[in-house]
Amino acid sequence: MTVTIRIAGEAGQGVLTTGGLLVQTLAELGLHVAATRSYMSRIRGGLNWYDIRIGESPLWAPAERANLLVALTDTAMETLAGDLANGGVVLYNGAEADGSIAIDLAGVAKELGGSALYANTVAAGAVLALLAYPLDALEALLAKEFAKKGPEVVEANRACARRGAELVAGSAGALPAPATGGQRAGSIYDGATAIGLSAAVAGVKFVTAYPMTPGTATFACLAGLADRYGIVVEQAEDEIAAVNMLCGATYAGAPALTATSGGGFALMAEGLSLAGMMELPIVAVVAQRPGPATGLPTRTGQQDLAFAVSAGHGEFPRAVFAPGTVRQCYDLTRRALETAHAFQTPVVLLTDQFLQDLQQTLDELPAEPDPIDRHVVTAGSDYQRYAETDSGVSPRALPGGEAMVVCDSDSHTADGHLTEDLDAHVAQQDKRSRKLAGMTAAALAPQRHGPPDAATLLLTWGSTYGPAREAVDELRSAGESVAMLHFAQLWPIDAAGVRETIGSPERIVCVEGNATGQLAALLRSVGALDDCELHLRYDGLPMTGTEIAERIRP
Amino acid sequence: MNLAPADTRPAWCPGCGNYALLKTLDEALDEAGIDRRKLVLVSGIGQAAKLPHYTRANVFNGLHGRALPAATGIKLANHELNVVVTSGDGDMYGEGGNHFLHAIRRNVSVKAFVHDNQVYGLTKGQASPTSQLGMVTKVQTHGVVSWPLNPLAVAIVEECSFVARSFTGAPDHLREMMVAALCHEGGFALLDILQPCPSFNRLNTFKWYKDRVRPIGEAHDPKDRATALELAFRWGDEIPIGILYTSARPSFESQLSPLGDGPLAGR
């Protein structure tokens, strides 16, 4: 069984603080956690919420409806109280409210701590009591979190947590809750952090970006890691500057990465083409949000697949990855960097707001520096940057040694100098294009979850992995013959291999967070798929397993 | 290195200021004692931007307008390299205008040599950000009405680390300015180089410049920002050439602790 706690209130009211305390505490109690955030594009006011879903085994996605709503404002109450699961409970921040448990959180906070800031702790204590969980893990966390502020602050927080629990004592255990495990279920990571940590571990030394939600979370994560890992982090004047700085930095030899969202990536398109032409190993993390144009800046979507696969003028090889889980964010960031360096060409890592903010309990992610192979050679004065090779990959020397490293955005000869020799133009185009064979051979095959002979096959990519996986499990436990294929690499695609992997199930349903079915179109364009049904969601919210299962169920 | 198949001979018009500029740059690089192996010439697109192909250096000939961010990335990845940008007025002040503003703010130790002929050459004669008011072109058919950018004044207002101007018709002066810029320590150096475009700029000819340029007297203290700005505002019968301004700001890279352990590219 799983339970979802939805903490909702205004921006700036402590939704994240309360949620953060609970996520850490619940993981400490041995529960598996999947937490997601929904927020408006504003710094104060509005309606934001933080969903914390807990269970006895790993969780992959949020639930559609909450079991416990913590309504910090009347707006939260009015908007969300009608959307609870059967038997759901509301904890209302106020004097009283029909059909809900009411606590004046700020009043209690001021009484015991002298400040409304403690309201978050009161709420956390109350939530744990409603689930009949002990308070000791929360109290230990408070002691750790507030140690720097002194014993009085720690004690006031503990008192607030205990009072919160006491005030709901009459309803303790009002919600059936998953059993706590014997030990901590894992560490809590979100997708944005997993990407940043992986990049730092892999030896990225230069990071530049222009702030854009939801890519900024990864940019800020790397800024936070910069001192420890020796990374230069610079906020660019615009995304055009960012991508061109990456090109310069990788030309000179530093592994480099940027993080942005669709609009910023659109500004980078020319620079991506430059990296293709100059054969530079740049990596762009593109965290999607619904577009077009500014769209819904703080919501999620999967609308930029076709763009990522085709962005940039001219024809050049690239790889596009799209992790499905927080752990995959970590693994594929490294793979993106390795691929970029092995093939000397740009790589895009597609994520989205949902996955950037998704928190999951995981085994500790490796944090010791473990630099990737940059595939750099030392060469002499006869060096040619774009020497022709069978693989299309030329030996890569860096400027500063005997070899003169000449790179041009114009068509160039093997030595890098610009030319209008059309034979040389074709030879170099062919050389770059040859990389695709190696990249296709190295591409990640789609991963299957469910039986190989299932009657219904879901096709998904990127962050839809979790919801689709939960849908498959739900349908299978109801006796349906269902499986899924998840694409974590979207380009290049081994079309014949994918066609064979898909096989010939009775039903194929492409499940995507966009309005046109971009994965389906992409697979058809390479001849990997004929026809399929589409299940699309593009309202800016993440999919859930239940929602997909309802749509798939015959 | 066999350069025969490549188009490495200058493809500029007879009388183009770029010839003098290239020759003087070679001399200045030697005079400044710069090891060509440690030199990266960075450019965008335009006639000026082709220059790196015609001398011996590491070359990053990138996108139009984007030489400065590329140069910034190169310098941060390996701050032991000498990074020199050679680009035109359209590349630097038009397409790359935003980067120009921010490169000066950032103060990375990149030397920007701007070939300023007040016109677009590669695209055949349209107005540039520094074109004179009233200049008639095939696009500005009623003459230029947008006021010309004053890059030196902009740089001085931003407290640019080094601001100078020279003229391709005064090669000794130009060489001296290039050497001064190349040897300048402490951040971003802007050298705006006036040059004639005999094909497309019939207003600002070699003679037009020659009659107007006046070396700045030795009495000028480049640290005097107000006077520097006054010199930058002078444009007409007399055009001052020389070092207008230097500031004592710390370079960007000198403030980055990760660079203390050596170039990022070496780790």
List residues bridging with A238 in a β-sheet: none
The full set of domains in chain A, from first to last, is 2-185 (3.40.920.10), 189-362 (3.40.50.970), 376-442 (no CATH), 447-552 (3.40.50.920)
Q: Is B264 on the interface with A (CB under 8 A)?
A: yes
pLDDT at res. A182: 77
Report the pLDDT averaged over residues A352-379. 97
The one-letter amino acid at A161: A
% of residues, chain A, pLDDT over 70: 100
pLDDT at res. B232: 98
Which residue of A226, A270, A405 is in closest CB contact with B58?
A405
Put simply, the chain B residues between 33 and 92 with a CB less than 8 A from any chain A CB are 36-38, 40, 42, 45, 50, 53, 56-63, 66, 68-78, 80-81
pLDDT at res. B1: 44
Q: Is B11 on the interface with A (CB under 8 A)?
A: no
**pLDDT tens string A1-32:** 899 999 999 988 888 999 999 999 999 999 99
pLDDT at B73 over 90: yes
pLDDT at A95 over 90: no
Report the pLDDT averaged over residues A60-82. 94
Secondary structure of A21-90 as H, E, C letters: HHHHHHHHCCCEEEEEEECCCCCCEEEEEEEEEEECCCCCCCCCCEEEEEECCHHHHHHHHHHEEEEEEE
**pLDDT tens string B237-247:** 999 999 999 99
CA distance A269 to A258: 13
Report the pLDDT averaged over residues A99-121. 91
Which residue of B63, B74, B81 is in closest CB contact with A271?
B63
pLDDT at A148 over 90: yes
Sheet holding A206-209, edge to edge: A232-235, A206-209, A256-260, A283-288, A347-352, A319-321, A489-491
Report the pLDDT averaged over residues A75-81. 93
pLDDT at B10 over 80: no
The separation between the first and the last C-alpha atoms of chain A, rounded to the nearest angstrom, is: 24
**pLDDT tens string B206-245:** 999 999 999 999 999 999 999 999 999 999 999 999 999 9
% of residues, chain A, pLDDT over 90: 91
Chain center to CA of B149: 15
Give the residue among A157, A85, A77 at the shortest CA–CA distance from A124: A157
pLDDT at A309 over 90: yes
CATH topology of domain B17-251: Rossmann fold (3.40.50)
Report the pLDDT averaged over residues B123-144. 94
Compute the nearest-CA separation of B230 from chain A (Å): 29
Tell which of A245, A282, A283 to mutate to test the B interface (max B CBs under 10 Å).
A245
Domain ranges (residues) in chain B: 17-251
**pLDDT tens string A40-55:** 887 777 899 999 999 9
Put simply, the chain A residues between 339 and 378 with a CB less than 8 A from any chain B CB are 371
Pick the more confident residue, A34 or A176. A34
pLDDT at A519 over 50: yes
Pick the more confident residue, A495 or A96. A495
All residues of chain B having their beta carbon less than 8 Å from the beta carbon of residue A399 are 37, 40, 58, 74, 78, 81
% of residues, chain B, pLDDT over 70: 97
Q: What is the dihedral of CA A196, A200, A203, A206, to 10 degrees?
A: 70
pLDDT at A112 over 50: yes
All residues of chain A having their beta carbon less than 8 Å from the beta carbon of residue B72 are 234, 241, 245, 248
List residues bridging with A508 in a β-sheet: A457
CA distance B248 to A535: 62
Strands B111-116 and A489-491: unpaired
pLDDT at A205 over 50: yes
CB contact under 8 Å between B258 and A231, yes or no, is: yes
Q: What is the dihedral of CA A244, A249, A253, A258, to 10 degrees?
A: -80
Report how many Cβ contacts below 8 Å link chain A to chain B. 185
Q: Is A275 on the interface with B (CB under 8 A)?
A: no
**pLDDT tens string A265-306:** 999 999 999 999 999 999 999 999 999 999 999 999 999 999
Report the pLDDT averaged over residues A414-440. 95
% of residues, chain B, pLDDT over 90: 91
Give the residue among A433, A427, A432, A399 at the shortest CA–CA distance from A413: A427
| pTM of the full structure | 0.96
Please give the structure tokens belonging to residue A252. 């000179």
pLDDT at res. B2: 46
If you average pLDDT over every residue of chain A, what do you get? 96
pLDDT at A114 over 60: yes
Compute the nearest-CA separation of B85 from chain A (Å): 12
